[in-house]
Structure 1
């Protein structure tokens, strides 16, 4: 069985180029411009919240300090410290204590790693943050020109790295899989009638699961292995079901028809079982009833015992005539001695 040939690096899922210690390429995707911009927008909201919180704290501090201490120089110094903490301290501390992730990266599913796939260090996080503040965002040096240069670098780099990543030797990767979900194909209309006549008593769960996995991954296989595996599975299933199909078709069409009929019968069986259970034991199918608070205890003759819901339906006990009293008595009743 052969999988699809490797696609170009620009179209592959595992495009990060990370290799494990056993020389196996890891199935990790490099983060591109779209996901990183989305993470940046979320981080900007988080930084705004941090900035407002710190600003409120500094305002309280300015009110507490003596009047002769508070001046324009102190206010300017505190504002500079605030900007450094928000723009540089926030990403460095988050990447240090959250495993290379900020709030935005956690939400989008991204992570900063070294170029070789190892965990990012504090020095590398600090370098990324300083380069980002200087020439990327907010871009203190030629803002518009630096923004265009940053976007150009990210689009041109095979791993989607920005200037800060190139300088620090890091990259951003996805932490979530990118599997493509494909539903199992349904039975073609011309085989539905044939499926209703099938005898599936000898089709076990393991063989049905193998057929279902084949249909779910058939798009990842190439010819002639795709047809060979489908024919092998259909040969095994055709040996345990009857009657044979009415006309010739690819093996995947037969497999889909058999699985669709098997699923239909399972659904019908479950529906009948639930209907029979509801008929024999209605308490199981009835919705739960809210129990009201019990009334105060009463010792008078008007007090009526509470009605309890039976835990199981009552079973009839077979009886036989009692030889002494001439009345029916339980089978397991004690008989008189001697």
Structure 2
């Protein structure tokens, strides 16, 4: 049976020395600038930073509620806000915007002229937020030359429902052609494709997506500057908060439980109990030192990520 997807093909030494001689690489300058040069433990939310943070948040909120000529523009903003990891600030605004987009979708407003990219983004975002959208008539024609559209279509298949065979075919088709396109496109699309193939949206973590997408979003050169600044500042502030929480956790002290946020208390208490049970068990074999080795391993992991 032939597939309903038609294509227009487009070519798409282990010594005790104190010093080591190492090769140096000439890395490109990071889009992040000096945002990570200072330790998160040194970063405090002073009055000036707090004011800037709140001003930028309001600017992003104004963008989300503003009227736009096309729903595709609003879809792009919502998608960027989510990928940049700041959607938790604007859940109400995003929901209201998607309600309007869903209404347009149901009434076939601004639908016929939509390209593959816009159709796929709309389908993914509406499905992701629980709206009842169907795919039977969608994605009938896929142009391999439209790599960004294919990428969005690939990510839309993450939200397929049981029995949607067309999306199974789309997943197989887009995976194959994105792997081919990965070798022919430039940054940042190359990086976005590589990330999507390695870690699909639904199998990744918001902070990991945000850390990568901040550079990608800026790399396209079409970003909203206020959203870009807000995402960077929000990421840095959250990093500082997580660092403070981890510093308390790795003290391995039951007396500090009351100083932790409620959502961490139970988890932290259980971790301490696991290590205590482990120590009680292996101490009978004279191997209680292994618990300290395990704790030191946790310190090493913490140091690596901090």
- Identify whether the pair has TM-score above 0.5, normalized to the shorter chain: no
Q: Which has the higher helix share?
A: 2
By relative contact order (CA 8 Å, sep 6+), the higher-ranking structure is 2
TM-score normalised by L of structure 2? 0.21
Larger Rg: 1
